[in-house]
Amino acid sequence: MRYIFSFFLLLSLGANAQWKSFIIGQRGDTLNRLDMQGKKQGPWIVKVPDLRGERGYEEEGYFVDDRKEGRWVKYSLQGDKIAIENYRWGQLDGKCQYFNHVEDLVREESWMAIDPKNPYDTIPVFDLKDPTKIVRFQIVKIDEASVKHGTWRYFDPGTGRIEATEQWVMNKKKTKGDDDAELAPIDPANPNATTTTKAEKKPLAKPKEVLEFEKKNAGKKKIKVRDGNTGG
């Protein structure tokens, strides 16, 4: 029996030899792992005590190379759920929800994390006289690690009714009268997807030759011409 125990002890030590430190959870899983470089990896439970009037909390989620990644759930020290947040590159990204002390939803936010390896974004610059016309695209550096982007909703905690809604695009709040083309939102769940704007929907002007041809043949029997369209 002693040899069998020694075998399982060595097996356990070998399986965790890649970690500098860790703890064993109630279910026997390995938590709060630090790799040999001292970086947080895998499932973690983070506990923050009350401090200077600020309430403490406990949160659970995953680390990848010392940065939060994916879904994190935050609880009060009494065990009540107070937030569900999503992270990318260690920053808020996508939909985040916040709750009161009885776990009623009070606020829903939308964020977009900025890739720290490429903190630049291409934004359209619109014609002042024609806000639907894009005159050029400009590359700008984004200093924030995460920006407000998408729909924010505020709820009545008792009924769940939406009391207010805000639209944000790259930390810019959309107000009444703003042009939709300039503030066309990007889906936080898929920030790389392209978004069709009003400028893209605007029909292209016909070439001069086509206009002259149509004028010359106006009123005549319809002539079938090839227009380059490959559709049905």
What are the tens digits of pLDDT across the range 48-67?
999 998 999 999 999 999 99
Report the distance separating Cα 94 and Cα 191, nearest Å. Answer: 9
Q: pLDDT tens, 118-150?
A: 767 676 777 777 778 888 877 766 677 899 999
Predicted confidence at residue 213, as pLDDT, reads: 63
Which residues touch 63 (CB under 8 Å, ≥6 apart)?
39, 40, 41, 42, 44, 69
pLDDT confidence band for 205 (50 / 70 / 90): low
Average pLDDT over residues 179-201: 45
pLDDT at 229 over 80: no
Q: What is the pTM of this model?
A: 0.62
Average pLDDT, the chain: 78
Rg (CA), the chain: 28
Q: What pLDDT is attached to residue 179?
A: 53
- Those residues whose C-beta lies under 8 Å from the C-beta of residue 116, and which sit 6 or more positions away, are 89, 145
> What integer pLDDT is reported at residue 218 of this predicted model?
65
| DSSP assigned state of 79 | S
Given a contact cutoff of 8 angstroms between Cβ atoms, the answer to whether 77 and 54 are in contact is no
- Structure confidence by residue, pLDDT tens digits, 141-177: 667 789 999 999 999 998 999 999 999 988 899 887 6
State how beta strands 146-148 and 94-99 pair. unpaired
